[in-house]
């Protein structure tokens, strides 16, 4: 019987769970020439295209027209409203000549309606393209391209570089958005771009919208193989930061400096992940500690789940399990609570590349005192092992409170779009929140925090671009399971906020939260319930209670050291550790202190750097010409020493020098 005991744990949780998705393509979007043509499609963005308050899906068509899919409530199916009719207000959106790949939407001019940016890559993998991008604005009763109108044609602002993802960022918190373009550079041709309205040169009363590329002044005009982009308050509290996963180079984490400029802090944060060839990327708060975590897929490389820490030594930690990190030809990555069970899922959309490659789904569940639990689920009919997946989005287009999944296909083979419904959680409660800017547009980049009675706070960020080539719905979708929502807080990119209590009647509805007037930001007149571990501050916002300070004897005598955590606390035993070590979370053992620099380099990648002749000198200063070596050695100003024992030598990492027997390395000044 021993073999049976050993075999049982190996049975996949995905095999034992019920399938999450069922196909509904033939019901809501059957393949046909007008609505779901068999063509190469790429990115998908969700916005209100026709201005009626409902959300539509804009699909980037590569060798065919772009599509705008609207749910017809009477027919109960999706209809393409960008029809082949020049009298249609949506005709220009088709842009049959463009090879569209990435798409995003946001309000760039402050009129309360989102513009749509489409990235085209005609005849180019990298560098210069033969056809410009499009920035569509609704005016004069139809959509028109701003980049090539009489004003901007002479300003030479239209992006003519081959790129991948695009995203929207309110870099100054003004409610006016800029378009971040992750171009794919060829040498020194094709840096990342950042296009926004030039307020001084524009006259909105006369319909004049002048655009400028401000990437250089904002500090983001980098040359790299740009791939995925995601925007939100990542390392900032409310300001919009930008995270980029790149190919043939390190990732970028652009921290917003508060004045509209950015500083790349990926190296300090430990998320550079060089030469891993990132693709899809998304944000989430998986352990519900109020900090933004990052999840992304590397092309046939290890997928990452970077949990942000409350630790000055190490900003992010990769907690991906072996199954989660398993390499695949990944495209879009998204986070959502598909079954409304109060926990986030992560969906990996793979492309059939040199053989079948099924899509995958994981549930990431919070644990009280430890890293989140990662469980692979049965993705059901959305596995698509032969699918040429290039993009995916989730939205509730039929209004039943459960998210639908739409997947686009292309690149290596023409395939129609596919649509899936969720089978699980049909009786679970939910709440959807839509924050608005001061102009009335969707507040991309805003942070929404929902407090509950049992499970504490849940955080969502209104998407400005994520997945891969895509932009998710401008809605904070919360699954409640059987929990009770007590209050909701919204934080805009400029730091303004609103808090409001929730009534039982708010459950299973869509709430719109408007930008606060000055008098609305005072303490609410109605009592707000924050839930366990939180209390109201003087401004009427829910804040973490410090149980360790409030109750000094809360921990038992065998674990007397109390550490406050977000919404709770943890106790550990007293333990003293030698230099270079620190107690683990429960105080049961001493573990080596890691630095972000050392953690990013494995032994195989470290040895070539240390043994290159032009990086080392005998007893002198090495000229660090290799970028990876500079990244590794840039942390050598620490006052403590760390020892790395390798098979052939001992590396002492300390005090501005990295010492080897007979060899000395020092950072170039």
Question: Strand 663-666's sheet: what is its strand order?
Answer: 642-645, 650-654, 657-660, 663-666
**Model confidence at 633: pLDDT above 90:** no
Question: Strand 56-61's sheet: what is its strand order?
Answer: 41-47, 56-61, 67-72, 77-80
Tens digits of per-residue pLDDT, 3-46? 444 444 444 444 447 999 999 999 999 999 999 999 999 999 99
Please give the mean pLDDT across all residues of the chain.
85
Q: What is the pLDDT of residue 520?
A: 60
Q: Sorting pLDDT into bands at 50, 70 and 90, what band is 585?
A: low
pTM given for the model? 0.82
Which strand (E) or helix (H) includes residue 6?
helix 2-7
Q: How far apart are the first and last CA of the chain?
A: 65
Share of the chain residues as helix, strand and coil, in percent rounded to the nearest 5: 10, 40, 50
Of the listed ranges 7-21, 218-232, 298-312, the one predicted with least confidence? 7-21
Quickly tell me which residue has 């590396």 as its tokens.
651
Q: What is the pLDDT of residue 217?
A: 96
**Model confidence at 121: pLDDT above 60:** yes
Does 584 or 357 have the greater pLDDT score?
A: 357
In this structure, are residues 412 and 17 in contact, taking their beta carbons and an 8 Å threshold? no
Domains identified in the chain and CATH numbers = 12-435 (2.130.10.10), 545-594 (2.10.25), 601-666 (no CATH)
Tokens of 640: 């403590």
Of the listed ranges 2-11, 60-69, 277-286, 503-512, the one predicted with least confidence? 2-11
In this structure, are residues 224 and 164 in contact, taking their beta carbons and an 8 Å threshold? no
Q: Sorting pLDDT into bands at 50, 70 and 90, what band is 526?
A: low
Does 562 or 366 have the greater pLDDT score?
A: 366
**Model confidence at 237: pLDDT above 80:** yes
Give exposure, 477-505, as e/b (b: 16+ Cβ within 10 Å): bbbbbebbbbbbbbbbbbebbbbbebeee
Of the listed ranges 77-86, 192-201, 513-522, the one predicted with least confidence? 513-522
Q: Which 3-state string (H, E, C) describes 174-226?
A: CCCCEEEEEEECECCECCCEEEEECCCCCEHHHCECCEEECHHHHCCCCCCEE
Question: Strand 360-367's sheet: what is its strand order?
Answer: 330-336, 344-350, 360-367, 370-377
Tens digits of per-residue pLDDT, 384-425? 999 999 999 999 999 999 999 999 999 889 999 999 999 999
Tokens of 226: 């740009």
**Model confidence at 573: pLDDT above 50:** yes
Tens digits of per-residue pLDDT, 439-451? 999 999 999 999 9
Q: Sorting pLDDT into bands at 50, 70 and 90, what band is 640?
A: very low
Q: Collect all residues with Cβ–Cβ distance below 8 Å to 17 and sequence separation of at least 6.
A: 377, 378
DSSP-derived letter for residue 283 is: E
Segments in 479-602 forming alpha helices (H): 547-550, 596-599
């Amino acid at each position: 019987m021993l073999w049976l005991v050993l075999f049982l744990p190996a049975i996949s949780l995905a095999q034992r769970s019920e399938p999450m998705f069922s196909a509904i393509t033939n019901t809501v979007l059957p393949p046909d020439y007008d609505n779901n043509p068999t063509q190469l499609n790429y990115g998908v963005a969700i916005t209100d295209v026709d201005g009626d308050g409902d959300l539509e899906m804009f699909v980037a068509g590569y060798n065919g027209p772009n599509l705008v899919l609207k749910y017809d409530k009477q027919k109960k199916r999706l209809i393409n409203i960008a029809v082949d009719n020049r009298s249609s207000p949506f005709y220009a959106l088709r842009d049959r000549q463009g090879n569209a790949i990435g798409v995003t939407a946001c309000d760039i001019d402050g009129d309360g309606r989102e513009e749509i940016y489409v990235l085209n890559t005609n005849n180019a993998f990298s560098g210069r393209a033969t056809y410009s991008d499009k920035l569509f604005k609704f005016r004069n009763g139809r959509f028109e391209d701003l980049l090539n109108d009489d004003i901007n044609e002479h300003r030479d602002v239209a992006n003519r570089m081959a790129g991948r993802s695009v995203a929207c960022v309110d870099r100054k918190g003004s409610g006016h958005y800029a378009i971040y373009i992750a171009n794919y550079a060829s040498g020194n041709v094709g840096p990342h771009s950042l296009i926004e309205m030039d307020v001084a040169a524009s006259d909105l009363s006369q319909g004049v919208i002048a655009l400028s590329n401000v990437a250089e002044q904002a500090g983001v005009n980098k040359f790299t193989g740009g791939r995925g982009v995601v925007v939100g308050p990542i390392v900032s509290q409310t300001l919009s930061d930008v995270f980029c996963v790149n190919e043939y180079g390190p990732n970028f984490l652009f921290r917003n400096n508060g004045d509209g400029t950015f500083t790349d802090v990926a190296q300090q944060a430990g998320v550079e992940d060089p030469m891993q060839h990132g693709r899809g990327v998304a944000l989430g708060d998986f352990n519900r500690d109020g900090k933004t975590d990052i999840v992304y897929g590397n092309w046939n490389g290890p997928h990452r789940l970077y949990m942000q820490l409350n630790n000055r030594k190490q900003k992010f930690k990769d907690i991906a399990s072996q199954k989660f990190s398993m390499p695949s030809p990944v495209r879009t990555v998204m986070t959502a609570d598909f079954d409304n069970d109060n926990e986030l899922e992560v969906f990996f959309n793979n492309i059939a590349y040199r053989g079948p490659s099924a899509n995958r789904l994981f549930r990431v569940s919070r644990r009280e005192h430890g890293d989140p639990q990662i469980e692979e689920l049965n993705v059901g009919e959305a596995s698509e092992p032969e699918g040429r997946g290039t993009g995916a989005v989730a939205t509730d287009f039929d209004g039943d409170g459960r998210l639908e999944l739409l997947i686009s296909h292309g690149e290596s083979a023409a395939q129609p779009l596919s649509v899936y419904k969720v089978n699980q959680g049909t009786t679970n409660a939910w709440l959807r929140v839509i924050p608005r800017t001061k102009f009335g547009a969707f507040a991309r980049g805003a942070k929404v925090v929902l407090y509950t009675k049992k499970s504490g706070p849940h955080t969502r960020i209104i998407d400005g671009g994520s997945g891969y080539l895509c932009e998710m719905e401008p809605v904070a979708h919360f699954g409640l399971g059987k929990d009770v929502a007590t209050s909701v807080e919204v934080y805009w990119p400029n730091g303004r906020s609103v808090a409001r209590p929730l009534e039982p009647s708010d459950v299973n509805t869509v709430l719109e939260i408007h930008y606060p007037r000055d008098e609305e930001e005072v303490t609410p007149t109605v009592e707000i319930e924050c839930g366990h571990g939180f209390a109201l501050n003087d401004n009427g916002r829910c804040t973490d209670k410090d149980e360790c300070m409030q109750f000094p004897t809360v921990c038992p005598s065998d674990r007397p050291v109390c550490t406050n955590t977000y919404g709770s606390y943890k106790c550990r035993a007293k333990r003293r550790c030698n230099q270079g070590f620190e107690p683990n979370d429960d105080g049961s053992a001493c573990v080596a202190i890691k630095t972000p620099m050392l953690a990013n380099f494995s032994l195989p990648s470290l040895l070539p750097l240390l043994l290159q002749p032009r990086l080392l000198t005998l007893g002198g200063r090495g000229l660090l010409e290799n970028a990876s070596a500079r990244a590794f050695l840039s942390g050598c100003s620490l006052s403590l020493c760390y020892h790395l024992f390798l098979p052939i030598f001992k590396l002492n990492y300390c005090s501005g020098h990295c010492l080897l027997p007979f060899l000395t390395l020092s950072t170039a000044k």
